C-alpha cells in the first residue's frame, strides 16, 4: 500500500511540474505575441501564427523563438535568421486579405 501511495505521489509531482512548465511557456508565448502585435496591426491569433511559422521555418522551438522576440523588444537585437523570417511572416500576414480581423 505504501509503495502504491509513493508511486501516486511521484506521479502527481511529475504532473505538477509539467503544469508549472506549461504555465511558464504560455506566459512567454503571450508576451511574444504582445511584441508582435506592438510592431504590426495583426490580431492575437495572427501574432500566434507568425510566431508558429517563424518557429517552424527556422527549426527553433516555439518557446525559444518567443524568448528571442521578447529579448529583441528589450535589446533591439535579434539573430539574423529569426529576424529575416519574422519580417517575412509579418509582411505575409499584413498582405493577407484577413489581416485586419
Write the DSSP symbol of residue 59.
T
DSSP letter (8 states) at residue 76: S
Say how far apart CA 45 and CA 88 lie, in whole Å.
17
- What pLDDT score does 98 carry? 57
Stated pTM of the model: 0.75
Grid coordinates given for 35: 511584441
Domains contained in the chain, number: 1
Q: Does residue 55 lie within any of the structural domains?
A: yes
pLDDT of residue 23: 60
Helix axes 62-75, 44-58, angle to 10 degrees: 110
Q: Give pLDDT < 50 ranges for the chain.
A: 100-101
| Rounded Cα distance, 49 and 35, in Å | 13
3-class SS at 39?
coil
Flag whether 61 is in a domain. yes
**pLDDT at residue 100, as a whole number:** 46
Give the residue numbers spanning the domain of 26: 2-95
Confirm whether 101 is domain-assigned: no
Give a yes or no: residue 44 inside a domain. Answer: yes
pLDDT of residue 18: 72
pLDDT for residue 12: 64
Of all helices (H) and strands (E), which one includes residue 2? helix 2-38
User: In sequence order, what are the residues at sequence separation of 6 or more whose Cβ sits closer than 8 angstroms to the Cβ of residue 52?
Assistant: 62
Amino acid at each position: 500500500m505504501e509503495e502504491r501511495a509513493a508511486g501516486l505521489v511521484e506521479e502527481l509531482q511529475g504532473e505538477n511540474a509539467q503544469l508549472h512548465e506549461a504555465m511558464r511557456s504560455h506566459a512567454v508565448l503571450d508576451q511574444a505575441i504582445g511584441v508582435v502585435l506592438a510592431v504590426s496591426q495583426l490580431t492575437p491569433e495572427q501574432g500566434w501564427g507568425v510566431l508558429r511559422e517563424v518557429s517552424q521555418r527556422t527549426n527553433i522551438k516555439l518557446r525559444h523563438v518567443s524568448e528571442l522576440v521578447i529579448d529583441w523588444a528589450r535589446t533591439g537585437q535579434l539573430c539574423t535568421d529569426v529576424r529575416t523570417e519574422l519580417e517575412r511572416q509579418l509582411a505575409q500576414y499584413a498582405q493577407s486579405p484577413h489581416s485586419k480581423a
